[in-house]
Structure formats: C-alpha cells, structure tokens
C-alpha cells in the first residue's frame, strides 16, 4: 500500500525500510516468453523529458529525510514533491555490471560485463539509442566505467562528457588510477576532444549538464540527460566548502558491526573472515580509520551532489519544464558501513543490493509518497522506453515500472518478478565469494560459488536485518529446495547456459569438520601489515617489473595516502 510522506512522514520513512517487497512469482519460463518478441508500448500523453541522476556507492538510507543529521535539502525536496521507492534493488552490486544492466536492460549473465576489469561492450545496445530514433536528444555526462576504461563517446548519445576509469575528485588528487592511465583520469573527453579537468568533479559535471540543458540542446525536442556522478565513491573528498560540514556529527554504524557471537551465529565463515580485510570493518581499505570518521567525508561529498540536484530542479521550474520532466535520483549499488562486519558492496545483503530511489514529476508522480513496490535496475530501461512510447526491444529482460510509478497500479497489486542476484568473484578483491541469490516475496536465499561454506535463507518480513539464518530450519525446507531450483534456472543465460560452470545445488554438501580438529587456516604472514602504509593499494594494481623493483627497494609503487592525512590533502590541493 502506498503511503504519504507528510511532515512527520519524511523522518519516519526510515521505519518503513524493511523489505516489504511486492510478492511476485513469475517463473523463468514466463519471463523468457515475455521477451521473445517486441511488445508495442502504449504511447504516453506526450514525450516527456528525463533527468537520470546516478550516484556511485550511495547507501540506501543516505538521504536527509531518512537520517535527520544529514543536510540534503534538495534531495529531500525530491522526496516531498515526488515518490520514494524503498524497495529498489540492483541485480549486481558492483559498478560496471550494474551500469551495464541499467544501460542495456540485460542481466550480467547476458550483457557479459561481469566485473570492473574486463568490461567489453561488444554487441551491446544502450537504451538511449532507441530514444534517439524516437526524436529524443540524449546526453551522457559523468562516470562511464565500462569498456576497458575507454572514454570515447558511445553510440546513443548526442552529447558526451566523460573520463577514463574512476576519475578524480580534483585535477591532481593522487588517485593511483590517474598515474596508471598516464594522467588521463584528470582529463575530460568532451564530444571526442580532450579537455583538462579544472576543478571539483561534482561541480564541473553539473556545469557541463547545465550548459547542455540551457544552451546546447534543441529546445524543440524532448531530452534524456544521464548525469553520472563519481561521488560518493572511495576515497570521497568533499569540496572545500563542505570539508568540515560534519566535523561534529557522530555517525552511528549498524549494530551488526560488533564482533559478537550473536552477530555471527549462522553466518558463513567468509563473512567473519572478511572483517580484517580491505572490505571489512576492522581494516577497511587497509587503514585504521573508523567508519564514523569516514562517513564525514562520504556525506560531505554528498552535499555537493545535493547542490547539483538543486541546480537542476531550479532550472526545470524556472524554464517551465518541471511538469514535463521526470527526475530520477538513484545509485549504481548500495554500500555497507559495517553491516555484518562488512563495508563496500558486492554481497547479496540488503545494505549492498538496496539503493536510494526518488522519482519526481509534479502532476504525474504522486507527491510525498512512499511506494513499496519492488523495482530492479533491470527495469529502468524498459520503463524509460515505455514512458516515451517507444517500442520495447526483444533483448530487454526487465519490466516497465511506469504503471507503478504513476500510481495506475497500486504497490500492493504490483506483481514484481523474482529478484535474482549475481556477483562473480574477482581476482582483485577475493575476499567476497561468487554470490547468487533470489528473493521471492519476503524470502531471500543466498548461495556461494567456489567457497567451502554455508548458504543462507532469510525471511525479510520478520528479519529485515538478516540476522537469523533459516537455512537449516525444517519449517523452511520446502522453500529452500524450491528457491535453489528456481535460482539455478534463472541464472541461465538466454542460450540456456550458465556463464561459469557450476552444477545445480540441492544440498549443503559434505562440509562437516572435526570439532576437535584444526581451526581456520592462518593468513600468509606477508599479508599481515600495519595500517596506513603508502603502498596499501599496491596489491590491487597489476603486477609488473616496475612494481616489483619498487618493492625490492622498499618503496610503494603507487603511493596512496590515507584519506584525511596531510599527504592526501596536499595531493588534492587542499589546505587544513
């Protein structure tokens, strides 16, 4: 049931952040048959404009109306005047796979962008190309992060402003990606031409977006603006005006971050083992920074994005486009801030797969509402084509959520398809295993590939924080068996094959250990280091003779100062 966000409702919305996802039982066969041929969408009243604002790594509750200590007046303005969708999820919680799913309307097993390192775009069509054919002007401005770090303009966009890799918050930020790429991440690719980055990335991206909106586009045509921010990706550097915004704020981390027997009861071994790693709360990013301190930088960087949202909203209102333009605010994946002792994304846990989602179009999208219908990033492309009255291409795997968004279908009547999740293990960050999951109704089943460990089952209606693993509960045996089978079926690609070789799992397997035998194996001694080393990111960078020579000399190959240190601020051009 859709709820209204009144004056108190904005601050009470966080109490509604349990999964509450609509029940859907669409089978894999039914989903497959639904995309076997093009489906003619009903034309909208008239082609409407779209501003799609994508953040990087923004946590699902990282908005002021959910956390009163956050200062996000313009994001909160979207919530007051539009609809908040708390059950929006991503089918792969990692930058490149998620972005590819948004752009193609396909899952990772079909679009093939399965990690951040090997991301060929061969054979892919990005949905804005279909909008172009329908008369739209399209612009991409910001972080692309696919296609092997190539920043050249992509098909489907009339306007192009991007950069290689992760980009840099400042023109010389000390970002190791910049050095690896010969400084290219401090350069913009503007319609095929190299242009030097001049200032703070969020502000500069906003300037490019506003210039296109105000001066460069054809005002006689509908437009689609894809504004893709770097913020709030690590290491998040706020602009100078917000460097001290949260100096006195005491950010809380989840209770599940505590290293207690209760928190780890029923959890896989890998979850506990990850505490003391790059993606664990005890040694995250191989530093000794506390998460509460990190969040001051994280949310300081968000404040600049809030300014950007305000610029766009003010322009739409002043130009008379507010009622003809859908504004979408979301993120490529979630972010764990200590949930279950973890940080970052990649996992199938709620804090990783859930993303913020606000939609705003006065007169079309209900104002001040909370809509509990589940939307996947897989559904964005078909939704955008639907609202534009554009024919749906056959390769799209999601469904249009436009009837849900406009309120024509109530969230309680929304038949959301199963939410199937896939994450493929990476060489660079091996602490998170290959992960596959499915949510049907309120039950979520998670299994792992290539790791000697248990799987998981949660009833999110009773356990939204995923603290009680029901995998061995006899009462859930039938559900476990069914979800295992359906998950395996749905992970097949469109050719009926699985992208990596794994068999159907129908039991936990021979995983027992001698209670009196050896415990977990110790980590190699060479992995045990002190915090805050300048070479803390070296092990992620490709091995090379140059890197080995640097290490033989006792030097960091790519110095990477800890966020907040004097060295980091100096490299970013900041002064204390």
Reduce the DSSP state of residue 283 to 3 states and report it: coil
Give 443's DSSP letter. Answer: E
pLDDT-derived band at 518 (thresholds 50, 70, 90) equals low
Q: Is the pLDDT of residue 41 over 90?
A: no
How many independent structural domains does the chain possess? 1
Classify residue 185: in a domain, yes or no: yes
**Hey, CA dihedral for 514, 518, 519, 523, is it positive or negative?**
negative
- Residue 311 belongs to a domain: yes
Phi-psi bin for 15: left (phi > 0), alpha (psi -120 to 50), beta? alpha
Please state the rounded mean pLDDT for residues 115-136.
Answer: 92
CATH number at residue 211: 3.40.720.10
Q: How confident is the model at residue 321 (pLDDT cuts 50, 70, 90)?
A: very high
Q: What share of the chain is helix, strand, coil (3-state, %, to 5)?
A: 30, 15, 55
Q: Is the peptide bond before 7 cis (omega within 30 degrees of 0)?
A: no
Inside any domain, residue 316: yes
SS3 annotation, 351-404: HHHECCEEEECCCCCCCCEECCCCEEHHHHHHHHHHHCCCCECCCCCCCCCHHH
Q: Is residue 79 part of a domain?
A: yes
Residue 87 lies inside a defined structural domain of this protein:
yes
Between CA 403 and CA 42 the distance in angstroms is 11
The range of the structural domain enclosing residue 256 comes to: 51-261+277-411
Q: Per the domain annotation, does 46 fall within a domain? A: no
414-461 pLDDT, tens per residue? 999 999 999 999 888 999 999 999 999 999 999 999 898 999 999 999
Helix (H, G, I), strand (E, B) or coil at 508: coil
Query: Is residue 8 in a domain?
Result: no
Whether omega for the bond prior to residue 235 falls within 30 degrees of 0, making it cis, is yes
Give yes or no for residue 39 having a pLDDT over 50.
no
Q: Establish if 162 belongs to a structural domain.
A: yes
Distance, in Å, from the CA atom of 402 to the CA atom of 409, rounded to the nearest integer, reads 9
CA-wise closest residue to 181 among 170, 192, 168, 190: 168
Q: Phi and psi of 4, rounded to 5°?
A: -100, 140
pLDDT tens digits for range 202-226: 999 999 999 999 999 999 999 999 9
Return all residues near 308 (Cβ < 8 A) that are at least 6 apart. Answer: 53, 202, 203, 205, 206, 209, 227, 229
User: How does pLDDT run across 325-353, given as a tens digit for each residue?
Assistant: 999 999 999 999 999 999 999 999 999 99
């Amino acid at each position: 049931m859709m709820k209204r966000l009144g004056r108190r409702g904005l601050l009470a919305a966080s109490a509604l952040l349990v999964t509450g996802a609509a029940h859907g039982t669409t089978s894999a066969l039914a989903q497959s048959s639904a995309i076997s041929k093009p489906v003619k969408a009903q034309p909208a009243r008239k082609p409407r404009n779209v501003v799609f604002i994508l953040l990087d790594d923004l946590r699902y509750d990282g908005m002021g109306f959910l956390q009163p200590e956050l200062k996000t007046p313009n994001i909160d303005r979207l919530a007051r005047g539009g609809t908040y969708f708390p059950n929006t999820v991503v089918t792969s919680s990692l930058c490149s796979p998620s972005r590819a799913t948004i752009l193609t309307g396909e899952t990772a097993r079909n679009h093939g962008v399965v990690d951040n390192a090997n991301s060929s775009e061969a054979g892919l069509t990005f949905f804005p190309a279909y909008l172009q054919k329908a008369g739209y002007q399209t612009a991409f401005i910001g972080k692309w992060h696919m296609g092997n770090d190539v920043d050249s303009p992509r098909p489907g966009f009339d306007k192009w402003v991007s950069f290689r890799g992760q980009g840099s918050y400042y023109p010389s930020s000390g970002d190791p990606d910049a050095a690896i790429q010969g400084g290219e991440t401090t350069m913009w690719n503007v319609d095929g031409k190299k242009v030097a980055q001049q200032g703070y990335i969020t502000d500069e991206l906003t300037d490019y977006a506003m210039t296109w909106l105000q001066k460069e586009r054809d005002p006689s045509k509908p437009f689609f603006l894809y504004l893709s921010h770097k913020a709030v990706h690590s290491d998040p550097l706020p602009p100078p005006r917000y460097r001290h915004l949260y100096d006195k704020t005491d950010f809380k981390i989840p209770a599940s971050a505590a290293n207690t027997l209760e928190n780890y009861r029923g959890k896989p071994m890998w979850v506990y083992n990850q505490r003391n790693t790059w993606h664990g709360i005890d040694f995250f990013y191989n530093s000794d920074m506390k998460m509460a301190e990190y969040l001051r930088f994280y949310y300081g960087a968000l404040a600049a994005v809030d300014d950007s949202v305000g610029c766009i909203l003010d322009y739409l209102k002043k130009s008379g486009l507010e009622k003809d333009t859908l504004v979408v605010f979301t993120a490529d994946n979630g972010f764990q801030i200590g949930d279950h002792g973890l940080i970052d994304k990649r996992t199938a846990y709620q804090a990783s797969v859930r993303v913020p989602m606000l939609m705003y179009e006065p007169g079309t999208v209900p104002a001040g509402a909370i809509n509990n219908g589940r939307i996947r990033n897989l559904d964005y492309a078909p939704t955008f084509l639907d609202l534009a009255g554009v024919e749906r291409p056959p390769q799209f795997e999601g469904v249009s959520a436009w009837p849900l968004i406009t309120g024509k279908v109530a969230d309680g009547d929304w038949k959301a398809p199963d939410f199937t999740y896939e994450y493929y293990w990476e060489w660079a960050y091996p602490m998170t295993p290959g992960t596959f999951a499915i949510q049907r109704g309120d039950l979520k089943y998670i299994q792992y590939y290539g790791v000697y460990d248990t799987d998981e089952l949660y009833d999110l209606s009773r356990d939204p924080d995923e603290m009680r693993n029901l995998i061995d509960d006899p009462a859930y045996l039938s559900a476990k068996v069914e979800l295992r089978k359906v998950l395996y079926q749905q992970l097949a690609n469109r050719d009926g094959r699985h992208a990596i070789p794994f068999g159907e799992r129908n039991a936990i397997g021979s995983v027992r250990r001698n209670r009196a035998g050896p415990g977990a194996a110790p980590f190699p001694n060479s992995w045990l280091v002190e915090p805050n080393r300048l070479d803390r990111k070296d092990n992620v960078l490709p091995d090379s003779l140059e890197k080995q020579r640097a290490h033989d000399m006792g030097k960091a190959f790519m110095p990477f100062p800890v966020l907040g240190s004097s060295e980091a601020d100096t490299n970013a051009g900041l002064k204390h």
